Amino acid sequence: VVGPCAACKILRRRCEEKCILAPYFPPNDPFKFTTAHRVFGASNIIKFLKELPEEQRPDAVSSMVYEAKARLRDPVYGSAGAIFQLQRQVNELQEQLAKARAQLVNIQCQNDSLLALVFMDRVDDNVNDDPYFYCFDDHSAGASFFDDGNVG
């Protein structure tokens, strides 16, 4: 004889054979149900599950329990707070990545100019060129060392 599921036990109701909550709220984990129940309410949980095909219900329960935990941990911002924090982190990382990539373009340009200088020094020791490198932070605005004026 299997006892009632955690939900029915806590709600003090008969756990029927086809109880919609039983598969997701086993009797050995009452905390899982009380968490979701305190935030969404049993009737909303049942309503959400009924609206979903059976194969999507486990994920729906997991995400509701996850959100409920976030709301109980942070009653002001809940999981929306985690979203705002992560969005800020994404923005910061995107800025840092754009900066690093711009530095890479610039330093690669310097490298190309230096390689050209080393090459020229070795091919013709008499060349008295000025080691001025046309590499700018705004790469699009600057002329490359390999522009028409310098090479050819």
Interface residues toward a copy of itself, by CB under 8 A: 38-41, 43-44, 48, 51-52, 56, 59-60, 62-64, 66-67, 71, 75-83, 86-87, 89-90, 93-94, 96-97, 100-101, 103-104, 107-108, 110-111, 114-115, 117-118, 121-122, 125, 131
CB 5, CB 15: distance < 8 Å: yes
What is the rounded CA–CA span in Å between residue 14 and residue 86? 43
Least distance from C-beta 101 to a copy of itself, angstroms? 6
Least distance from C-beta 17 to a copy of itself, angstroms? 25
Nearer to a copy of itself among residue 23 and residue 41 (C-beta): 41
Least distance from C-beta 47 to a copy of itself, angstroms? 8
Query: 6: closest CA among 48, 49, 40, 35?
Result: 35
| Tokens describing residue 44 | 């909303």
Helix segments in the chain, DSSP class H = 6-11, 30-40, 42-50, 57-73, 78-123
Nearer to a copy of itself among residue 14 and residue 122 (C-beta): 122
Nearer to a copy of itself among residue 11 and residue 60 (C-beta): 60
CB 116, CB 146: distance < 8 Å: yes
Nearer to a copy of itself among residue 3 and residue 91 (C-beta): 91
CB 106, CB 142: distance < 8 Å: no
Least distance from C-beta 3 to a copy of itself, angstroms? 27
